[in-house]
Structure 1
């Protein structure tokens, strides 16, 4: 297999394979929910499985669970499509690196900085792609929307700026609040903010929608 065949094909390509949208959502949000659950119930889990106590406190147990769940999610994506999704792959790589450092050095700072790095990388990828004339967000949402080239450009720019905002917000939260507050906000704060932002993008999607039968040009 060529290295290029390992990654998802371009939007609209005949070689691009899609999985059920609900399953895709579960694979992307599942590791985050497991992270939250393991952090909230870390002491009980460690008591039930004493060998996990060697990992450290709840946050370290949650970090290990997050790493395993992320690896499983990527593996399922590979089994289902024989392709590695680009955006989750970037996030997964950062999770494994910073999660490994967190467990090895027993320093929770690394896992707290991870969202800053991931969001910063996504912003750099999306905004950098625009500099080269590529609307890379089409790789993520092409199964849901069929937009004009101008529509993908505007949507990619908006999401790139939003990822910058999320990176800055994560830095503010983890540096100024407790670990438990940071974990709770990471799950129950970021999701509503992202949902509201997504709704704000509906006018762009509606205005630049191609329809079911129009050719796509990302």
Structure 2
């Protein structure tokens, strides 16, 4: 399916919206316990249960509106369903907290395999957004690969060492801020290895 023209705000809204809803819902029910079918569930588990169909609806909407889903979006949706589902089914929040670790490890390993083959698989995903020279893509891919592994380690430290509430704040704001800051610090690389406009 060919890519479609959509309002510029729509894609980020569909990607970030479910996370914002998750965070707001968690704040509302974080201290409550619910009894369903004779079984007690913490608020975090119920919010996770609601997040699964929400992220699926958002992913389908993105596909319908843009005509395209990146591998990262597909894998993320699948892992949310699998590990979010395990958390709800087993009434164990640890599975959902592990999900970011696995996502970042998976993408880090994937980029690493590409690097071992002398290729930048990051380029296949982001070339339309950031046109760079070949050398620039290889440098950026190595940095992003290391960054993914660092995020995976950081998520493990946070969820294993701190409260659920701390992890939710970290997941909602900390990871987002870390990704933003990382790419902001790559400005020198983007400038050095930018592809020149050949029309000039």
**What TM-score does the superposition give when structure 1 sets the normalisation length?**
0.79
Contact kept? 1:38, 1:65, Cα under 8 Å: no
How far residue 22 of structure 1 moved from its aligned partner, in angstroms, is 3.1
Q: In the alignment, does 2:112 pair up with 1:114?
A: no
Q: How many residues align?
A: 198
Comparing 29-38 with 118-127, greater Cα deviation is found at: 29-38
Q: 1:61 to 1:169 in 2, by over 3 A?
A: same
Q: 1:120 to 1:89 in 2, by over 3 A?
A: same
1:125-147 Cα deviation digits (max 9, x unpaired): 22222223332223443332111
2:18 alignment counterpart: 31
Separation of aligned partners in 1, 2:74 and 2:40: 25
1:70 alignment counterpart: 55
How far residue 111 of structure 1 moved from its aligned partner, in angstroms, is 0.5
Q: Which runs of 5+ in 1 are unaligned?
A: 6-14
Separation of aligned partners in 2, 1:69 and 1:40: 17
Contact kept? 2:111, 2:120, Cα under 8 Å: yes
Q: In the alignment, does 2:87 pair up with 1:102?
A: yes
Q: Which runs of 5+ in 2 are unaligned?
A: none
Partner SS state of residue 9, structure 2: helix
Comparing 95-104 with 141-150, greater Cα deviation is found at: 141-150
Alignment of 1:196-215 (within 5 A): 196-213=181-198
Contact kept? 2:30, 2:44, Cα under 8 Å: no
Partner SS state of residue 41, structure 1: helix
Contact kept? 1:43, 1:58, Cα under 8 Å: yes
Which aligned runs of 4 or more in structure 1 are off by greater than 4 angstroms?
15-21, 43-47
1:152 alignment counterpart: 137
**What TM-score does the superposition give when structure 2 sets the normalisation length?**
0.86
